[in-house]
Structure 1
């Protein structure tokens, strides 16, 4: 096992080649399983929604192969330790030989390789075999980092019975729609929840998250960057890159792009970009220090 590396979350993953047209995650356990599990097998369709979970809890990605015993043993240990944390983090197992685009997104040069995502940003953990005690220590450090980054709480199990309270019906309807790749239906469900309870913060953030997923689902990062660079006055192109930066982990870059854009706009266009920036703040979380820093810059631009 190489030395675990738990830096402040930074960097990015290029998700342009992995834009999801509809998540179809394959659960690692049988659908009939009764023991709750926060572990799933990831394919390319399920990858981007899995990354979105990292806005709520650390999302761990294990790149390996079922043909390599070291990978099999490592994934078994990871599954036990992640599931023991009851939704405070999640695990996605990737067959790097079957889905090389995912491995490429992480610049993986060897397997097994384990990376965490915190607010969409990659945090390298370790490569090669590891004892359960070592993995447990790394996951504890990861949990501390997540707390520093403003993450908290837990997410529902991917399979089995977690014993936790069910989501409100409309929230569950939205989650089911996201799982089916129907972002319009998910947004409608969250909006209905807001109509019933206007102060439902989770529903409001859900609306913004679903809109972000919908906007970026069919965008290519490289094409969008090139278009925005060639057309600096095109608001839609600038907004597209900001969205992709946020999903890819370049949170500060996304915020800076929009604040700079606001500084040279007026009236209607300025308000449109400001509203988008407020939505992205909500997706990241108002407690995040990057949001606080950007809000200060935005205030200086506006006032």
Structure 2
């Protein structure tokens, strides 16, 4: 288990998941939900989907490490309780029905068997509704790994990102961080393979879209020419669009992202349609690879927009 500041201690499973009856419903659901959200699984022994959903719920609740609890209610054994709750507005005619209780009242629900990703999202929403941290402290571990990567300790960062993903395979920020450790170690093929292996549930997450753009830019860097020679060519031939595009790629590869953006904006100004809009496409790739709040991205997007709508 990742043990960095803010991570919760693993709770005893017996305290997290309980069989609840009419006698202890008030204590183990209503009163307990005043402290942490309680996910109530209404099920029956004859219900096929219940047999699939129940273990998935238990796994997700256990993974939350005490940020949420679970109550299991057999509707056949607790018919009077089920009827009373139905009279109060809970639609329990169909099972399985799963209800999230926060601060003593139901705040969300779903019916039927659903994928694990939807269960995780449901529980995260319940935890947030209760004022908790649905990340289970893993965001602190991601921040620590990012700091390692920024300081040049790519291997240490890689180990930390991998450990986070063992606990939460769908943590998009950790997965993107893992891919970037390969880029930091100039292991482009491994970075691309890792990205291609991302779970489908997070494959379109902004963090992975950004690292995809970073990989594309890294591929381009392998074939660019010397900055000095390309600069001289562009100065001598201002309308040599290919040379200007190559210069922008070379500048980006050398770490001069702002310079690359300036050259691409100039290329767009001179001929926005050249090479099927290559200048705009390259700009968007660079912006995608940067943090949304990066000053270069903010300024570049603003300048590009003003040119488009001028």
Same fold (TM over 0.5): no
State the structure with more CA Rg.
2
For normalisation by structure 2, the TM-score amounts to 0.41
For normalisation by structure 1, the TM-score amounts to 0.42
Higher helix share: 2
